Amino acid sequence: MIETVTIDPSFVVVNKPSGLLSVPGRGPDKADCLSARVQAEFPEALVVHRLDMETSGLMVFARSLDAQRSLNRAFEQRLVEKYYVAIVTGVVENDDGTIDLPLICDWPNRPRQMVDHAIGKPSTTHYVVLARDTTLMQTRVGLTPVTGRSHQLRVHMASLGHAIIGDSLYSKTPPPEGQRLLLHAAKLGFPHPVSGEPVNCISDVLF
């Protein structure tokens, strides 16, 4: 079963659980994914964007080729508003800030990404502190990516010395077994693929 957030003749927005691939991976053991589950209910559904397997939250699927082209164009032109909530290690000092670090695939260690000032692609993330827990030494943050690089939020927060809790790739210490990545795509806004009117979707953060 999938949790459907919004159904429109042109698109459907669903809530992806943590631990589920967005699209099929290589091999039959990676066939189960969000796109397959969505297409079981909406056979015409087409992929527009992805979330990391470990990340939960909102994803939009187009319901026609025209809608897919329109939504793809919105992502390319940065007309899509994305907002994530995460809990990171340590107490973040500044109340807000911007991380502007170019990213590129760490090819020998893929799928890891890394900061590379010489050949990395421009990557920008705005963050704001939502709450600090000085007992657990954790901080809840709101994250707004300007660009959409692979693992961008995870690498950017780790680069500040505040890896997202549950991050098995970028945390200095391996997370406990069974600890999910505490990163959730909580808000997704985009122009309607037909009318151009704003569409805004919200998903509750369960951590």
pLDDT in tens, 32-77: 999 999 999 999 999 999 999 999 999 999 999 999 999 999 999 9
Q: Is 167 annotated in the active site?
A: no
Confidence of residue 172 (pLDDT cuts 50, 70, 90): confident
Write out pLDDT tens, residues 150-166. Answer: 999 999 999 999 999 99
In the chain the domains, ranked by start, together with CATH numbers, are: 3-79 (3.30.2350.10)
Q: What is the mean pLDDT of the chain?
A: 95
Please give, one letter per residue, the 3-state secondary structure of the chain. Answer: CCEEEEECCCEEEEEECCCCCCCCCCCHHHCCCHHHHHHHHCCCCEECCCCCCCCEEEEEEECCHHHHHHHHHHHHCCCCEEEEEEEEECCCCCCEEEEECCEEECHHHCCCEEECCCCCECCEEEEEEEEEECCCCEEEEEEEECCCCCCHHHHHHHHCCCCECCCCCCCCCCCCCCCCCCEEEEEEEEECCCCCCEEEEECCCCC
Q: Which one is catalytic: 52, 95, 96, 204?
A: 52
| 30 vs 188, residue with greater confidence | 188
Write out pLDDT tens, residues 91-122. Answer: 999 999 999 999 999 988 888 999 999 999 99
The reply to whether the predicted model has a pTM over 0.75 is yes
